[in-house]
Amino acid sequence: MMDTQMHEHISALADGELAASEVELAFAALDTPAGRAAWSVYHQIGHALRSDNCGADLSDDFGARMAARLAKEAPAPPPPPRGGHAVDEGRGDEGGGGGPAAVGVGSLP
């Protein structure tokens, strides 16, 4: 199974946007069955996007139906906190000792 980074490399190679420093890695991935399958899929996607018929078979109300479905989807989860500190679910803070500092600030005259 290929990882996401290899898929991104193959996609960028198919689009002619891969950095020269990454070409060797992409070629190594293309030497596998999964890599060749990904290459084929990305070329089919590119062909469909460049085609004059792209979307020609969509119904008149496709956009409205798609918008309604997307509106029903749950929102994306928030990104993880920055700074590399995982939230300690037991304490409810980011592990930086924020509790005692907040108490000290609250007791100033």
- Tell me what the mean pLDDT of segment 69-86 comes to: 82
Q: Do the beta carbons of residue 88 and residue 81 sit within 8 Å?
A: no
Per-residue pLDDT tens digits for 4-52: 888 899 989 988 899 999 999 899 999 999 999 999 998 888 888 888 7
For residues 53 and 64, the model is more confident at 64
pTM: 0.46
Two tokens, residue 2: 């290929």
Give the 3-state secondary structure percentages of the chain, helix then strand then coil, rounded to 5.
55, 0, 45
For the chain, the C-alpha Rg in angstroms (whole number) is 24
pLDDT above 60: residue 95: no
Q: Give residue 86's pLDDT.
A: 55
Interacting residues of 50 by C-beta distance below 8 A, sequence separation 6+: none
